[in-house]
Structure 1
Amino acid sequence: MSVDFATLLSAAEEAPEDRRGEWLRKIRDAFVTGSANISESEIERFDRLMTQVLDATPLLERVTFAKAVAKSPRLPQRLRKRLLSDNSMVAAPIIEHAHLTDDEIIRIIDINSEAVCLSIARREPLSDHITDLLIGTSHPKVLLALARNIEATLSPSGFEILSDVAVNDVEMDDALSARPDLPPEIARKLTRALEKRTRQRLTAMMERDLSRTRRPFVLR
Structure 2
Amino acid sequence: MDLQINLIDQLEGVLASKDVSRRAEILRRVTDVFVVGSGKFSEDQVELFDDVMGKRLENVERAARAQFGNRLAKLSDAPPKTIRDLAFDDAIEVAGPILQHSERLDDHALIEIAKAKGQGHLLAISGRKVLVEAVTDSPYPMGDFHLLFFASFLAHSESGQSRHFDRAPVTSVLPR
TM-score of the pair, normalised by structure 2: 0.70
Kindly indicate whether the alpha-carbon contact (under 8 Å) linking 1:5 and 1:30 is maintained by their aligned counterparts in 2.
Answer: no
Kindly indicate whether the alpha-carbon contact (under 8 Å) linking 1:11 and 1:23 is maintained by their aligned counterparts in 2.
Answer: no
Match of 1:113 in 2: 118
Match of 1:53 in 2: 56
Matched AA of 2:91:
S
Deviation for aligned residue 1:159: 4.8
Larger radius of gyration: 1
Kindly indicate whether the alpha-carbon contact (under 8 Å) linking 1:32 and 1:69 is maintained by their aligned counterparts in 2.
Answer: yes
Deviation per residue, 1:16-54 (Å, 9 max, x gap): 555453343232133224211123343233212211121
The equivalences for 1:31-50 within 5 A come to: 31-50=34-53
Deviation per residue, 1:32-82 (Å, 9 max, x gap): 242111233432332122111212321100011011102222222322232
Q: 1:110 to 1:141 in 2, by over 3 A?
A: same
Match of 1:155 in 2: 157
More helix by share: 1
- Compute the RMSD of aligned alpha carbons: 3.4
TM-score of the pair, normalised by structure 1: 0.58
- How many residues matched? 163
90, 97, 101: which one pairs with 2:101? 97
Bigger relative contact order, structure 1 or 2 (CA pairs below 8 A, ≥6 apart) = 2
Separation in 2 of the partners of 1:136 and 1:87?
17
Q: 1:106 to 1:139 in 2, by over 3 A?
A: closer
Match of 2:135 in 1: 130
Separation in 1 of the partners of 2:48 and 2:78?
12
Match of 1:28 in 2: 31
Matched AA of 1:124:
K
Kindly indicate whether the alpha-carbon contact (under 8 Å) linking 1:12 and 1:24 is maintained by their aligned counterparts in 2.
Answer: no
Deviation for aligned residue 1:112: 6.7
Deviation for aligned residue 1:134: 6.2
Give unpaired runs (5+ residues) of structure 2.
none
Match of 1:73 in 2: 76
Separation in 2 of the partners of 1:5 and 1:136?
49
Kindly indicate whether the alpha-carbon contact (under 8 Å) linking 2:57 and 2:65 is maintained by their aligned counterparts in 1.
Answer: yes
Separation in 2 of the partners of 1:92 and 1:9?
29
